[in-house]
Structure 1
């Protein structure tokens, strides 16, 4: 995958438009390179994780290169889409990049001669896009109280960013929780990261520990952050503390953290989620009898694994989660066609491991209530996988609800579907935990 190993190549173009004299400037099977950008002087700048973190490098056309920026922080995001480009160059020759981790990212201006940088003032904490025009800097990002905004920054960094456009929250700001970055020790000396968003409603005060909702991101090579989320606020405003887990394999914490999931999908992510739960309980942040788990796609896979391999969750919500891995390995889209080779092992050579890691193999262990949401046209996780877990609930005598939405695919798009899911999920958890959800 692009975050595992990529090459940066330089070639000439002959009169017929063919690429000739190609040379490799950087990258290999264990080095991921992205965001190349040319300077007016003919230098090529790019981001590489050769040091263990995605840092900024410089190369000439002969392949002589040096690490320009050295920091134990990321200057890039995983290339799930080609347009993920977070390194730019100004007319002045200075570079602009984004660096940090999921808890806090900064926009910085880099001196290409010294490799030193200065952070620019901005009230946003995480960024998705970066662009420049002459010596003007533009970025799209979010923050604890900002869903998404387009901002312009000055290169001096002496004034705060100017907001050009902003997505307005459909609720009052005081209902938006401020997420706190937390971490706990995990298996084999690892540390697992997470974000805890407390139950937040200015109209109510609680005298008891609120129920905790563990949320698992998809990918699995993805991450979460503390950026304001209406989906998160829907639950925190109704009394849940929401904890988003960046299990081992998540991006934003360096290559070593990302690679803990290599060959261990279904193991490390499950272990880390359970360690976060244990840490919350041990620190008096969660009532062990009122913890639920939710997630979609790879996050849904983690939900199912958490339910069949432990008894710590009062209930779960599975959104089009992977239940059976062989089907995913044999029939998926081009981009992820060999993704599982690194996450689990080569298929079909490791077929038995695929069977063992499939939640459906262990469905007889399911005892916790489960609500399932599925799209009828999902090409990645077909309805048959979710239906199999629905049938397992029936067989085991487990409380369940199953929703299949006509015309929806892998990731719901229709507003009515999304609204229905949120309402039904809250209602289901209320039935399990013994409360009547507020409107």
Structure 2
């Protein structure tokens, strides 16, 4: 056995390089089933972030479906999702390059269906009986993303002709047909609501020509609805948070009935389209997933008796649940295994991966260096409790001097109405294997803990999320886990805003990294895209010119209070958080001679997808901390 070397926390040599971390920053998403084939989307940083539809045949062979240069990615609501559908061995997909819908018959080349240069499409549903697609369409009048027009449309596959099914609402999602194509359901919502605050569930009949009949609002108002879906026998199921947690309901002529009640979340925030957390294998069996206290579970429901059976296995994340009469497929990850597309044995719940994000041989080389996350609950302001995952520094080759405590990197997730999870993440292990502790915070306002926990952020963004990050760090310092004098904070997008607020309005953090973070709330409220145009009305207050509250919570206005070094990392083409916010903050710090750095990545939008950029960002962040926090020499 090789003896451990002794070195300061933050200076350890690790085999989990930036290249290794970037390899895991690819993605697996949107699993689907068509006949005996299973499909999914792979995001490939080494191909400049291109998304590819991949299929596994019944004999186990795996092949790419969509060829280069096609990039299967939608841009509706800026965050996309629902970028493809499959029916009878034909793949229908949105191409990122021109935002148009293509079809690809098995063994053939993609051919264009739509030719609407000013339109974007997503959330594709196949209406096979009428040889058409149903989708969400987004139009930008005169290129204006704030005044985008959204409609529910039907698209003739043969001609590409578009027909409006429903219009007048600000947003639409989740179109779904019943088994014989005679009924359609979908969600809609209006400004100033977000889909996790208030949505409406719509249902209508379809005549032979495909025109809507007897349209009605089934449910809606002061609740968030998610994933309407028709059962094989024609009943409409959906998820609602009317009783605090997103639970499963169904609707029929006699009214609404809750079919699966738990103090747990069966739904997720609808930042992207095409999401699914449950599916039917038959009229009598429903496969469900839910998250409770940060842990995901899977199970099956006996529909005739409404008796639920949870499978024994636990997960760090679950998504994309789809099923046929013989197959269940999903995307899953655990604390010790990276994301995978997998099938599930309905009888036992046994999970069989068919595609791993990280190949097994690559995983084996570094798995002995992984730090296992510890779920923690800690006290914060107003007598509340908040949640996080703590990763202690770990590297079997190294130890620190006995008297030293490690620096702590506090991570603030984006959204802010979303959540972090404990899935194996090489970008976290990159830090822990070098001697950093990592605290990944689910501050008040995060999802996964019920609507009441989400609503604690109402009007308090930039305040309680920051307090929770600080409280979590102090909690660990008081326990003796970390060095309270060496605290760093990092986050992207909304997490970047929390990061900048923590550095500007508080003194606990010694350094920080803002990934495409918000520094100017007025600019966010007036220059962002339509989807989030009124999000700050809920997070701060309804926007009005010269608002004192927007001014007071914008770090850009108080750079004189900021004395900690900050590195900014931003995509040049970011429309969600325009790059000038980072440039203004960077210039203000430069004028005050505070150590700072601004990295601008070409051909990147809101979030980075290209491997070279992801690697450069991670290495730059490490270098910045080495210069301004640990003062440790860079040896790896």
Name the TM-score, length of structure 1 as normaliser. Answer: 0.95
Q: How far did 1:24 drift? A: 2.3
Deviates more, 1:84-93 or 1:313-322: 84-93
Q: How does 1:150-161 map to 2 (within 5 A)?
A: 150-157=341-348, 160-161=350-351
Tell me whether 1:220 sits opposite 2:416 in the alignment: yes
Q: CA separation of 1:410/1:41 partners in 2, compared to 1, >3 Å: closer, same or farther?
A: closer
* Number of the residue aligned with 1:173: 367
Q: SS of 2:260's equivalent?
A: coil
Q: CA separation of 1:393/1:350 partners in 2, compared to 1, >3 Å: closer, same or farther?
A: closer
Q: SS of 1:146's equivalent?
A: coil
Residues 105-164 of structure 1 show CA distances to partners (whole Å, capped at 9, x for unaligned) of 11110122333211224464321211111042211111111111122112222x632222
- Runs of 4+ displaced beyond 4 Å: none
**Unmatched tracts of structure 1, length 5 or more:** none
- 392, 403, 418: which one aligns with 1:198: 392
Tell me whether 1:188 sits opposite 2:382 in the alignment: yes
Q: How does 1:26-41 map to 2 (within 5 A)?
A: 26-28=219-221, 30-41=222-233
Higher helix share: 1
* Number of the residue aligned with 2:216: 23
Asked whether the equivalents of residues 215 and 243 of structure 1 are also in contact (C-alpha less than 8 Å), the reply is yes
The 1-side partners of 2:315 and 2:472 are apart by: 27
Q: How far did 1:349 drift? A: 6.1
**Unmatched tracts of structure 2, length 5 or more:** 1-193
Q: CA separation of 1:123/1:75 partners in 2, compared to 1, >3 Å: closer, same or farther?
A: closer
The 2-side partners of 1:394 and 1:192 are apart by: 35
Residues 161-209 of structure 1 show CA distances to partners (whole Å, capped at 9, x for unaligned) of 2222212264511122211111111112221100111112121123332
Residues 52-75 of structure 1 show CA distances to partners (whole Å, capped at 9, x for unaligned) of 000111221x25111111111001
Q: SS of 1:147's equivalent?
A: coil
Q: CA separation of 1:330/1:57 partners in 2, compared to 1, >3 Å: closer, same or farther?
A: same
Q: How far did 1:15 drift? A: 5.0
Q: How far did 1:92 drift? A: 4.8
What RMSD in Å do the two structures reach over aligned CA positions? 1.7
Asked whether the equivalents of residues 439 and 473 of structure 2 are also in contact (C-alpha less than 8 Å), the reply is no
Residues 8-58 of structure 1 show CA distances to partners (whole Å, capped at 9, x for unaligned) of 122223455332322222221x20111122223332211111110001112
Residues 78-104 of structure 1 show CA distances to partners (whole Å, capped at 9, x for unaligned) of 111121111211125211110123621
Q: Which has the larger radius of gyration?
A: 2
Q: SS of 1:54's equivalent?
A: strand
- 153, 164, 184: which one aligns with 2:354: 164
The 1-side partners of 2:563 and 2:485 are apart by: 14
Asked whether the equivalents of residues 408 and 473 of structure 2 are also in contact (C-alpha less than 8 Å), the reply is no
Q: How far did 1:329 drift? A: 1.0
* Number of the residue aligned with 1:127: 318
Tell me whether 1:422 sits opposite 2:618 in the alignment: yes
Tell me whether 1:436 sits opposite 2:618 in the alignment: no
Tell me whether 1:402 sits opposite 2:583 in the alignment: no
Asked whether the equivalents of residues 249 and 257 of structure 2 are also in contact (C-alpha less than 8 Å), the reply is yes
Q: How many residues align?
A: 436
Q: CA separation of 1:349/1:14 partners in 2, compared to 1, >3 Å: closer, same or farther?
A: farther
Tell me whether 1:251 sits opposite 2:447 in the alignment: yes
The 1-side partners of 2:578 and 2:215 are apart by: 42
Q: How does 1:60-209 map to 2 (within 5 A)?
A: 60=252, 62=253, 64-101=255-292, 103-122=294-313, 124-157=315-348, 160-168=350-358, 170=362, 171-206=365-400, 207=402, 208-209=404-405
Q: CA separation of 1:155/1:15 partners in 2, compared to 1, >3 Å: closer, same or farther?
A: closer
* Number of the residue aligned with 1:295: 491
Deviates more, 1:420-429 or 1:345-354: 345-354
Tell me whether 1:45 sits opposite 2:237 in the alignment: yes
- 352, 355, 362: which one aligns with 2:558: 362
The 2-side partners of 1:63 and 1:51 are apart by: 20
Name the TM-score, length of structure 2 as normaliser. Answer: 0.66
- Higher RCO by CA contacts (8 Å cutoff, separation 6 or greater): 2
